[in-house]
Amino acid sequence: MSAFAAFEAWTFVTILLLTFSLFLVITGAFTAYFGSGKSRKIGVGLLVGGLIVGILWAWYTGPYSAGVDLVGIIVQSIGVILAAIIGAAAAIGLFLLAIMKS
């Protein structure tokens, strides 16, 4: 397995678009479920837009595309995000411990 290169053009665009579509789906579902009237319609639009962007990009970079290893990028991205969350949680926990003990 090669080193993770998040700033290679296609890898960067893949992470950007898949994260964008994932958060559109999440926020759209949240807005569609909890919203009412016009905001519910906007939530459905966000949900559908996120699905379209994600599916189109996954199809474009699918197994028959020579440019991007989609599964590898997703797995490595999850690892990077998980490491960042663990590091941030540890730092916040240490900060709160220090503040509460003083």
Q: Is residue 2 part of a domain?
A: no
Domain of 82? 9-101
What is the predicted pLDDT for the residue at 15?
A: 81
**Is residue 26 situated within a structural domain?**
yes
Confidence (pLDDT) at 67: 67
Residue 20 burial (CB count, 10 A): 15
pLDDT for res 82: 87
Predicted local distance difference test score (pLDDT) of residue 1: 46
Report which of 71, 50, 57 is spatially closest to residue 14, judged by C-alpha positions: 57
pTM given for the model:
0.68
Q: How confident is the model at residue 102 (pLDDT cuts 50, 70, 90)?
A: confident
User: Which is more confidently placed, 48 or 14?
Assistant: 48
Structural domain count, the chain: 1
Question: How many CA atoms within 13 Å lie on the side-chain side of 15?
Answer: 18
Q: Is residue 1 a part of any domain in this protein?
A: no
Asked if the structure places residue 27 within a domain, the reply is yes
pLDDT given for residue 2 in this prediction: 55
Kindly state whether residue 13 falls inside one of the protein's structural domains: yes
pLDDT digits (tens, 9 = 90+) for 52-74: 998 888 888 766 666 677 788 78
The string of pLDDT tens digits covering residues 9-40 is 777 888 888 888 988 999 999 999 998 899 99
